[in-house]
A = this chain, B = another copy of it.
Amino acid sequence: MLIKFINANVLNKNFDVLENYDLIVEGNRIKTIRPKLTNDDTTYDRVINCNGNYLIPGIKNSHTHNAMVFLRSMSDDLPLGDWLNKYCFPNEAKLTYEDVYYFTILGIMENLSSGVVGSMDMYLDNYAMAEASIKTGFRVNICDTIQKFNKKIAPEEYYVSLNNYKGDNGNLVKYTLGFHAEYTNTKELFERISGLTHKYKSAFFTHNSETKKEVDECKERWGGLTPTQVFEEFGLYDYGGGGYHSVYLEDKDMEIYKKHDVVAITCPGSNVKLASGIAPIKKYLDYGIRVAIGTDGPASNNAIDMFREMYLTTTLQKVTNKDAAVLNAKEILKMTMINGAFCLGHTDGDVIEEGKLADIVMIDVHKPNMQPLNTFINNLVYSASKINVKLTMVDGKVLYEDGKFYINEDEEYVYKKCNELLTYLLNR
């Protein structure tokens, strides 16, 4: 497939705007970016007229539990304990492969409508998640959610099978070693996963220091060591990785993150809604820590909306640092796109450049919230919303355009199916 975007404003690798450019996609790669060519004899499978809209690198959602859409808005405004124990855990215990498959597809649709081309997902059925990704054409990096109560703990099997799922060879689906969290695992599991990170020279991702309680209880269990320090003790971060949430890092933890290039993956929407706290992102940046952004699952957020997360990431730093000059739009885009691609293991899908993966989003500026066009990237971070996502292309294929999905599943069928599966789940 050869697709040409014309009359585009293109955000280049430095997030500067190239005005009135053509962009040509061949297969799943960006072939050419050049000023508008008036005489072009090539035959294209499709020519997409951008009408002055902007092409930006695909947004990456670096932490989510997509299938948790089924719990969206079921149990809000509750203390964290009640929310987890009365709603999440009992219902999650009933999930089937089919449930996780369809709920993940619904989550993928929500990602696409937010300009997201891939997510680092963690949930209860790795194969159902992989299948949803292959079916829809959406990128996923499946981080394992091993915990001591699991029936099936098979990281080595997953590592082999999911990094080449049905011949995909890591193009759409990747698998990353990880586990749920310190407090849901055991010394034996730490050792086992650490062994695998060394065997495969692999990164390791997990929930880390989301709440103060989590850190305090870990320190009680481990003679004063924080989760980060425990993970370092076991060599889990020897090949890098990431900490989902990373709200309560101590100075020593930050040194460990910096030393091993562990990514602090912030989920500000979830953290404020569950009253967990506000991560000191400005301080992490001062330490030289790499930061990426995720939505967390829709049960705690309740949206998969990376525009909201980008806005929250910067504004919450401004208000907590009492300084409106902290964290500008370019820094946020770097976290979302470049560092997001790093987390997902798709570093050649980070920016728009010839030869890079064709993971591209068209931002509609023919909407009042993007006018006037003073500074596009500021409009993008401080004013844009899902209403501005005109098209989402993943791996050279248009999966979302003008509000419609092209994901090998009918959208109304997915809504109906998800509501039916949920009713059935709640009643059994």
A387 within 8 Å of B (CB atoms): yes
A327 to B272, CA, bound (A): 13
Q: Which residue of B lies closest to A389 (CB)?
A: B387
Across the two chains, which residue of chain B brings its CB closest to A77? B328
- Tell me the minimal C-beta distance from A158 to chain B in angstroms: 27
- Pick from A22-30, A258-266, A296-304 the stretch touching chain B: A296-304
Please report which residues of chain A, range 356-389, place their CB below 8 angstroms from some CB of chain B when the two chains form the complex. Answer: 366-369, 371-376, 378-379, 382-387
Docked CA distance A308–B308 (Å): 8
Q: When the two chains form the complex, which single residue of B70, B322, B373, B415 contacts A366, counting CB atoms closer than 8 Å?
A: B415
Q: For A394, list chain B residues within 8 Å (CB).
A: none
A160 within 8 A of B: no
Q: Which residues of B contact A188 (CB under 8 A)?
A: none
CA distance A369 to B295 in the complex (A): 13
Question: Interface code A309-326, partner B: CB below 8 Å = 1, 0 otherwise?
Answer: 001001110110111111
**Which of B72, B79, B387 touches A374 (beta carbons < 8 Å)?**
B72
A206 at interface, CB cutoff 8 A: no
Q: Does A73 contact B (CB under 8 A)?
A: yes
Contact with A373, one of B374, B384, B419 (Cβ below 8 angstroms):
B419
A117 interfacial contact with B, CB 8 Å: no
Contact pick for A278, options B302, B319, B372, B386, CB 8 Å = B319
A contact set with B: CB distance below 8 Å: 69-74, 76-80, 83, 106-107, 109-110, 113, 269, 271-278, 298, 301-305, 307-308, 311, 314-316, 318-319, 321-329, 366-369, 371-376, 378-379, 382-387, 403, 411-412, 414-415, 418-419, 422
